[in-house]
Amino acid sequence: MRPLGYTRVSTVDTAVAAVGADATSTFLAGGTTEVDLIRLGVSRPDVLVDINSLPLKEIAYTNDGGLRIGALARMSDVARSPEVTYNFPALSQSLLLGASEQLRNMASMGGNLCQRTRCAYFRDAVSPCNKREPGTGCSALDGLNRGHAVLGTSEQCIATHPSDAGVAMVAFDAIVHTVGPSGARSIPIDDFYLLPGASPDVEHPLEHGELIVGIEVPPAPSARRSLYLKFRDRQSYEFALVSVAAAIEVREGRVADVRLALGGVGTKPWRARRAEVALTGGPATPQAFANAAAHELEPASPRRYNAFKVPMAQRAMVRALTRAMNGGA
């Protein structure tokens, strides 16, 4: 057992000051990931700063048709919010499919976006892992890599990002609002997640002590015709092998607006921009969807055990687009 310091704060400024002043401290919200990693010996903070008393639980529909979500809003509350289920159904579905009911009741939205990979080599605290201990190597490259990424990988890391909500947020161009020792800033969510490159241990552009305070989801023409599909080994509480957040608006048989993001296949929630460009302005047909999906997966780098994810992701994109076009049916 390692001794842990604990303190509770009631304002954003005191939270930032408490963590920013001590390199061995970290924020604690729902704890559904952090507590696990501490028990495993992967995360080793000396002080936990409890932020659950901060006034960051808002869920609001904005005048322009977007959403404003506090970082401490619980996943279950956001998933069942009328503003979310009606205007951004893919986000609601991603949250409901993202964890068990018990975890959704505890986990915060900010924490969900920051959760660490489920790579077994990262979590066993023993195997070489560049994400956990830079410079030690990546055991997954030639190991059991069935659940690992095929997009955005490097020779340093092929771990997938596990967040389902992050996939939907990326599809909708969400903005992450933070407050840190250097002040407040707004980070487009696609920039919030960093590719592993040569430094897979750096996952976000956050300085130590920088706190997520809210998430803004701007309006999107196709958002109400959106859905989230998730394919996994079992139906109850499992991480995605492949998932898709899709939204599409069709006018006179042609794609006027389309949003696509993939989970389970990328080292970060993967915005399928190649497919979006290929589809926009073109015919809304199954063949066009299939061609765009194949184009998106062209840069994939599959390994021995995860090559099945390439055709699976292509088929999932076609199914998601078809169902979204038909109102989710």
Q: In this structure, are residues 2 and 48 in contact, taking their beta carbons and an 8 Å threshold?
A: no
When pLDDT is averaged across residues 296-305 and rounded to a whole number, the result is: 98
Quickly tell me which residue has 């969900």 as its tokens.
112
Q: What is the pLDDT of residues 145-190, one digit of tens each?
A: 999 999 999 999 999 999 999 999 999 999 999 999 999 999 999 9
Enter the CATH code of domain 5-53: 3.30.43.10
- pLDDT at 25 > cutoff 80: yes
Contact assessment for residue 208 and residue 26, using Cβ atoms and an 8 Å cutoff: no
Residue 3 pLDDT greater than 90, yes or no:
no
Q: Give CATH 3.30.390.50 domain extents, the chain.
A: 223-325
Tokens 């990424």 locate to 149
The more confident residue out of 64 and 278 is 278
Q: So what's the pLDDT on residue 235?
A: 79
Stretch (H or E) spanning 321: helix 309-325
CA distance 117 to 260: 22
Q: Which two tokens stand for residue 47?
A: 């002080």
When comparing pLDDT for 295 and 327, which is higher? 295
Burial class (CB in 10 A: 0-12, 13-18, 19+), 106: middle
| Topology at the third CATH level for domain 223-325 | Enolase-like; domain 1 (3.30.390)
For residue 100, the model assigns a pLDDT of 87
Query: How far, in Å, CA of 72 to CA of 57, rounded?
Result: 5
Each residue of 16-39: b (16+ CB within 10 Å) or e? bebbbebeebbbbbbbbbbeebbe
What is the residue-averaged pLDDT of the chain?
95
Q: Residue 236: what pLDDT?
A: 74
* pLDDT > 70 in the chain, percent: 99
192: nearest Cα among 255, 129, 110, 308:
110
192/329: higher pLDDT: 192
Rounded mean pLDDT, 27-35: 93
Q: Which two tokens stand for residue 217?
A: 């989801």
| Mean pLDDT computed over 49-68 | 95
In this prediction, residue 91 carries a pLDDT of: 97
Tell me the CA distances in angstroms from 69 to 74, 77, 238, one per residue in order.
Answer: 10, 10, 25
For residue 88, what are the CA distances in angstroms to 31, 40, 189, 215, 232?
A: 26, 36, 16, 14, 23
The H or E element that residue 250 is part of is strand 242-251
pLDDT digits (tens, 9 = 90+) for 243-267: 999 999 999 999 999 999 999 999 9
Longest dimension (CA), the chain: 64
Cβ neighbours around 93 below 10 Å, total: 23
**pLDDT confidence bin for 1, thresholds 50/70/90:** low
